[in-house]
Structure 1
């Protein structure tokens, strides 16, 4: 099934419904069979990502002066939602959206002039964010991968446990420790680097070791070892030792965008369940007439609608520069829980057919489960809301 390329004008932000229609038309070229085959083969959906890139939509957050669309996070979240709502999987490309903020807000003018036009034109891919480590887990301030200054370079050595799409990327953000951990300010001492992987692969391939990790759904993730990888000092984003703050700055965008993906999944599940319940006949009547089938679908749909509203509120606050940490976290939590309820309602509606790959319920069931644990576990969100919003004692 071939791609359908849709040109998007970079001169103005289209109305919400117009943007939705644009994304839907693009996604029509990549139906259930395309995503099912990609999942079964655990192959990267390169054709889809290329089509999305060529349309300009993957450069949604890049300002127009650099060749992007100049959209806000609200519009970017609609793009991600519609991909998942069509039955696709935004995880193949969402990182280029939520990593963009670190470069836009904290990168130097030279970095932005060098990379943003190339990313917007689709000649460079920024899909890899190398942060998480085995020992540190969610405690990012405890990472051990180090970067040591050596003349005009930094030498990076260490291990990362979840670095997705590094083989599909030309650029990668890498967070490394450049100063000893300070008990008085545990957020200091980490530096964010924008690494040009093309140069590393061409000049020092032995310093970058990538081991693919097979997961329960199609997610191009890897374990990565950095064996004394040299990067120029010009690769530093912002100031040395302040990198954690730049990463933290992008987490709200990440949570909002992934909430929108979960919302898209939720709408997909409820629509598929509704269609099946309206067509499947057992005991001489449509199964949708049974309240035991009908009510779980309705419950899930209402939860998705509520999560959808929180997503838009979080995105609105983000776009006007207002604090939105609580809203971004709540949107991610509510959307991930609602999409999981919708997934279970759809699986129960389909019954045994839901376990058969040709109906795609089991594929999306596996995909949507991720949102409860990544990019942050929902229990961590509850701890954040408890302490930061309600003023309860810290639990960790």
Structure 2
């Protein structure tokens, strides 16, 4: 199957799932702050969340281009990929650094939808400066004991497994060394020692199942180490390019949704005896949003092509994320302006998507951090931090 055919298959199969979850479904989930479990279950059963898991482990064996098409179509349908996107980009760490035993133990069950790997527990009060994390994992016989506090760990209540980054040696001359990545089976923790895991829900401006987490002497076996002890930071950043590309695709999907809604509403809405769309003051911002979306999408596909052929793509992945975040935010504002006062009414769904798409300029990497990366790593300018 060619790459293009795989991408089209991904789009078709995703649309078949998203067609069962309309605006009202997502609106209700947002209003009730409810995790869209039915949607995630349907995506898992379809096999689409296993897009990047190799076929010999039960997955679809697709490249990131097809995987990104899945994320794009979810957002373009009016849904929100954040409910399940982590399972896509956490696969890289497991596939590249997991032992054969870990892969055989977990990947087929993840691919079938029987297990969920949705929780990525890294960020602490130090924010983007991951080198300053204070969560520690101390060796105790055949186990490690994890103690610390994470400020952002999304979907941990909805996940069976979690990736946890902790410091296993003191911060030295190379501050990113000495951290270890653990693949933790949360089912065992909940069954045997629930007091070791404290989850504190965090309410955000949109429906996002995120939490603070406190690890109170969480005991995990040494077999939970993913990759090499002390090299966990390197294992984490291995997945960053995939994460950037996938989230760029989500933002492109949001842009599509905003542009489509603005076009439709401007043609249907009559004001002063004629369609709103007749006015160039309405047309031009929508056209601008569409042009910016297409430009971001072009860099996204350039990044996909490089990633899928194992070529360096850090610059392209980051630029795609930056461009797509900018495009989706412009499209969101344009759509809201087009709807006017009705854009603030929840039954039109614009205000919900408006809140959701704002995150792409901030997380999981901010647009300013991307600017800094391009300035120093691509253009050779001096480091600013």
TM band (smaller chain): over 0.9
Structure 2 residue aligned with 1:377 = 366
Q: In the aligned structure 1, how far is the partner of 2:230 from the partner of 2:281?
A: 56
Say if 1:386 and 1:392, in contact at 8 Å, map to a contact too: yes
Match of 2:137 among 147, 153, 157: 147
Structure 2 residue aligned with 1:309 = 298
Q: Deviations over 1:178-202 (max 9, x none)?
A: 011112x121000000000011111
Match of 1:293 among 282, 306, 310: 282
Task: State the TM-score, normalized to the length of structure 2.
Answer: 0.98
Match of 1:169 among 139, 152, 159: 159
Q: CA deviation at 1:20?
A: 1.3
Structure 2 residue aligned with 1:68 = 59
Q: Deviations over 1:318-370 (max 9, x none)?
A: 11111111111100000000000000000000000000000000000000000
Q: CA deviation at 1:145?
A: 0.2
Structure 1 residue aligned with 2:212 = 223
Are 1:284 and 2:273 matched, yes or no?
Answer: yes
Structure 1 residue aligned with 2:38 = 47
Q: How does 1:245-260 map to 2 (within 5 A)?
A: 245-260=234-249
Q: In the aligned structure 2, how far is the partner of 1:14 from the partner of 1:125?
A: 28
CA RMSD of aligned residues (A): 1.3
Q: In the aligned structure 2, how far is the partner of 1:14 from the partner of 1:62?
A: 18
* CA gap 1:13/1:229 in 2 versus in 1, 3 angstroms: farther
Are 1:386 and 2:375 matched, yes or no?
Answer: yes
Q: CA deviation at 1:13?
A: 8.9
Q: In the aligned structure 2, how far is the partner of 1:57 from the partner of 1:17?
A: 13
Task: State the TM-score, normalized to the length of structure 1.
Answer: 0.96
Q: Deviations over 1:283-315 (max 9, x none)?
A: 111111111111000001000001001111111
Say if 2:137 and 2:146, in contact at 8 Å, map to a contact too: yes
Structure 1 residue aligned with 2:347 = 358
Q: Unpaired segments of 5 or more residues in structure 1? A: 1-9
Q: CA deviation at 1:270?
A: 0.3
Structure 1 residue aligned with 2:322 = 333
Q: Unpaired segments of 5 or more residues in structure 2? A: none
Q: In the aligned structure 2, how far is the partner of 1:103 from the partner of 1:15?
A: 23
Structure 1 residue aligned with 2:194 = 205
Match of 2:78 among 59, 79, 87: 87
Say if 1:171 and 1:194, in contact at 8 Å, map to a contact too: yes
Say if 1:13 and 1:71, in contact at 8 Å, map to a contact too: no
Q: In the aligned structure 1, how far is the partner of 2:233 from the partner of 2:62?
A: 26
Say if 1:13 and 1:69, in contact at 8 Å, map to a contact too: no
Q: In the aligned structure 1, how far is the partner of 2:340 from the partner of 2:94?
A: 47
Structure 2 residue aligned with 1:349 = 338
Structure 2 residue aligned with 1:4 = none
Q: CA deviation at 1:203?
A: 1.0
Match of 2:128 among 132, 138, 141: 138
Q: In the aligned structure 2, how far is the partner of 1:16 from the partner of 1:75?
A: 4
Q: Deviations over 1:224-270 (max 9, x none)?
A: 00000000000001110000000010011001100000000000000
Q: CA deviation at 1:316?
A: 1.1
Q: CA deviation at 1:17?
A: 2.5
Q: Which runs of 4+ in 1 moved over 3 A?
A: 12-15
* CA gap 1:239/1:104 in 2 versus in 1, 3 angstroms: same
Q: In the aligned structure 2, how far is the partner of 1:210 from the partner of 1:278?
A: 47
Structure 2 residue aligned with 1:21 = 12
Q: Deviations over 1:129-173 (max 9, x none)?
A: 000001x11000110000000000000000000000000000000
Q: In the aligned structure 2, how far is the partner of 1:148 from the partner of 1:70?
A: 37
